[in-house]
Structure 1
Amino acid sequence: MLKTILTGLTALLSLLIASLVVAATPATSAHYKIVTGQERGTYIQIGADLAKYVAQPAGIDLEVMPSKGSAENVQRMRFEPGVKLALVQSDVYQAYLDMANSGNADAGTTIRPLRLIMPLYNEEIYFVVRNDSPMKTINEIKDKVISIGPIGSGTAQSATTLYHLMFNQAIPEQNVQSLSNEDAIAALVVKKIDVAVIVAGQPAKLFTDMNPDLLSQIRILRLDPNVSETTRAKETYFPATIRQSSYPNWLKDDVPTLTVKAFLVTYDYGLRDTVSNLNRFADSLCENFDTLQEKGHPKWKQVKLELPPLTKGWQYYPPIERHLRSCIARRASMSTGNTSASVQQQQQPSAPKANKRPCSDQERLLLLCGK
């Protein structure tokens, strides 16, 4: 009898311990995706850090997906099942809003339900040329053959926007190449193009992992602060510095350039489970922010845990905003601005209809053209 009682108590105790372990462990039923950037870019490393140091402690299995870049990320964030997070450049996000405000229905359908989680860091814009190129500064790229990056990438948006700002005209069609970063460097070396525009947070894996012999054949154009082209470029972009310390085996000095802001983006979800999971993600982001800065990509050291005021048309995702603002207050940081937006019931969206008229260059860059 005693043996039977002890056996029963042991079984009960084991069951109790198991239930406590389960209760203490976050549920891992949420399987989400984050769309990032090219395989050797900074975005994909930032996504991996979010998956490891933020999503995993929150009980979320976050799959890090490579992509061509920001414009593709906006499309996939909006229409691809399972994609709950995206990394997007500020100029790409604004370009969608501008297209929507100009009356483009597809752009409005795509961008208006998206919401920001928080700003991240500035990405440097590299204008790469051959070592034997006569060009020294960015304002000299007019009428040169330029790789702007793949169509659908944030790089393509930045390159075309910058060119238009600097020279008051589009890049001549015959001078445009839409190559990946790796292919652009290869084309540059064999003199098929004159300039490769690359947008990446430093230190960029593309350059840190590059063969020294290849690195010795290329260099970066400098930003000249005294020319009118730079003045016009600074209407949208900001001066920055590519530091020699980021690439000690390549650069001899710091190189002045321009920069664009990266944002973490989601959708205006309303389903209870999705909101709950994203709230856990927000809490984990707050709790593990110091870990991100300590163990993640060096760019995390430039990220501030803050929600600054947004320009017209930009909105934070309300549930996460509330959690982050509460967290920011607990960390005795300054809370700025306040945005509000109603949480809509999540619905499976339909892809934009194909355009019946000819597609503009801007629509093509933002992947708004009918297939």
Structure 2
Amino acid sequence: MTRKLIRTLVAAALCLHGGAAVAAADYKIVTANEKGTYFAIGADLAKFVAPDATINLEVLPTAGSAANIKHLRYDLGVKFAIVQADVYQAFIDRAAQGSKDASIIIRPLRVILPLYNTEIHYIVRADSSMNYLHDIKDAKINGGELGSGAALITHTLYRMMFKGPIPEAQDSFLPNQEALVKLIGDKSVDVVVVAAGQPAPLIVNMKPEAQKFIKLLKFDPNHPSSKLPLTVYSYSTVLASSYPNLLKEDFTTVSVGAFLVTYDYNLQFTVGHLIRFARSLCQNFPVLQAQGHPKWKEVHLSLPALGPGWIYYPPTTREIRACIAAKAPAKPARKCSAEERILGFCS
């Protein structure tokens, strides 16, 4: 008997309600490179959240956020996606500008929960004269694969900082591992951009000898070229403890938010499973923070107001808000006044 079948049978046995078993669902979540943080977050959801929702959740590696939006919109079985905020916003902006294709893709997508800020790592050779992001104007830059959030943020930041696109001769779209080999090998790449929440598995697994070959660029929020990027992006501190084999001190980089997204489903079977997923997410949130990827410690179980064009998925929103309210500490009873006690209104 396969492990998947065992999980299905166990989930069905544990989820009896009113004498009827809830049928397990086989769903997929699209993430990013399997060595990245999005993939790790998806794996945590599959391990700690999905089982209590009677969902067998398959975690799929992908090219990244832009591809994820299309996978969620069109691929069979894909019910969840982790998406970079600027990528989602880019679709909304294009739809608002009249793009029918963008509107068709983004209009029915819904947010389940804001996650955390994704740090953008700019990697260069250790002997490079570059030390800051504002030094990369003339460098050969690899922003990641087409369809990835890293590729979009690389090009968007460059355009914002240097008032124009990356010249074609300086631009490449290789997978991270291949780009890193070229960075320190034939040196046909000068900068490799990795978008992943710290600690990014690709970087944290590097050996101490890596310090001889690579370093990370800093982001100076006070530099004139940083003014425009900070209208869209944030800046975050990369901790030396995140990459002990590579860093000796903390430094600042640019970052962008990540969101857990779904589709505006209305079939009762799917809606029911997504409601149970939201309930399990709330109930198992302490487990995610204690046993999941360190980035879970930066996630808040809250639903802040979203920008124009962004919409929460109502069924999961109701469930999460109800769960949050149930967990909220009870307000202390108001102290009775002497008059209220005398009149018997309060004891």
- Band of TM-score, shorter chain: 0.7 to 0.9
Is 2:229 aligned against 1:233?
yes
The DSSP-based 3-state class of the residue aligned with 2:303 is coil
Deviation per residue, 1:206-250 (Å, 9 max, x gap):
012123333431001111233111112111111111100111121
The 1:172/1:325 distance shift into structure 2, 3 A limit, reads same
Q: Shift in Å at residue 181 of structure 1?
A: 1.4
Is 2:295 aligned against 1:299?
yes
Structure 2: runs of 5 or more not aligned = 1-11, 330-347
Aligned partners of 1:37, 1:21: CA distance in 2, in Å? 32
- Correspondent of 1:253 among 242, 249, 253: 249
Aligned partners of 1:112, 1:255: CA distance in 2, in Å? 38
Aligned partners of 2:258, 2:310: CA distance in 1, in Å? 14
Q: Shift in Å at residue 21 of structure 1?
A: 6.5
One-letter amino acid matched to 1:218: I
Tell me what 2:337 maps to. Answer: none
Tell me what 2:336 maps to. Answer: none
- Structure 2 length as normaliser, TM-score? 0.88
One-letter amino acid matched to 1:301: K
- Structure 1 length as normaliser, TM-score? 0.82
One-letter amino acid matched to 2:275: N
Runs of 4+ in 1 over 3 A off after TM superposition: 19-22, 24-28
CA contact (8 A) 1:68 1:153 kept: yes
- Correspondent of 2:131 among 136, 152, 156: 136
Q: State the identity as a percent.
A: 50
The 1:167/1:26 distance shift into structure 2, 3 A limit, reads farther
- Correspondent of 2:103 among 102, 108, 120: 108
Is 2:157 aligned against 1:153?
no
Aligned partners of 1:56, 1:44: CA distance in 2, in Å? 18
The DSSP-based 3-state class of the residue aligned with 2:131 is coil
- Correspondent of 2:66 among 63, 66, 71: 71
Is 2:265 aligned against 1:269?
yes
The DSSP-based 3-state class of the residue aligned with 1:169 is coil
One-letter amino acid matched to 1:57: D
Task: Compute the RMSD of aligned alpha carbons.
Answer: 1.6
Aligned partners of 1:254, 1:20: CA distance in 2, in Å? 49
Tell me what 1:164 maps to. Answer: 159
Aligned partners of 1:75, 1:214: CA distance in 2, in Å? 36
One-letter amino acid matched to 1:282: A
Deviation per residue, 1:288-319 (Å, 9 max, x gap):
00000000000000000000000000000011
Tell me what 1:23 maps to. Answer: 16
Is 2:209 aligned against 1:213?
yes
Aligned partners of 2:317, 2:281: CA distance in 1, in Å? 12
Q: How many residues of Structure 1 are paired with residues of Structure 2 in the alignment?
A: 315
One-letter amino acid matched to 2:162: F
The DSSP-based 3-state class of the residue aligned with 1:234 is helix
Structure 1: runs of 5 or more not aligned = 1-18, 334-371
Aligned partners of 1:170, 1:294: CA distance in 2, in Å? 42
Aligned partners of 1:306, 1:195: CA distance in 2, in Å? 36
Q: Shift in Å at residue 142 of structure 1?
A: 0.5
Q: Shift in Å at residue 193 of structure 1?
A: 0.9
The 1:272/1:214 distance shift into structure 2, 3 A limit, reads same
Deviation per residue, 1:85-110 (Å, 9 max, x gap):
00000000000111111111111100
Aligned partners of 2:103, 2:79: CA distance in 1, in Å? 19
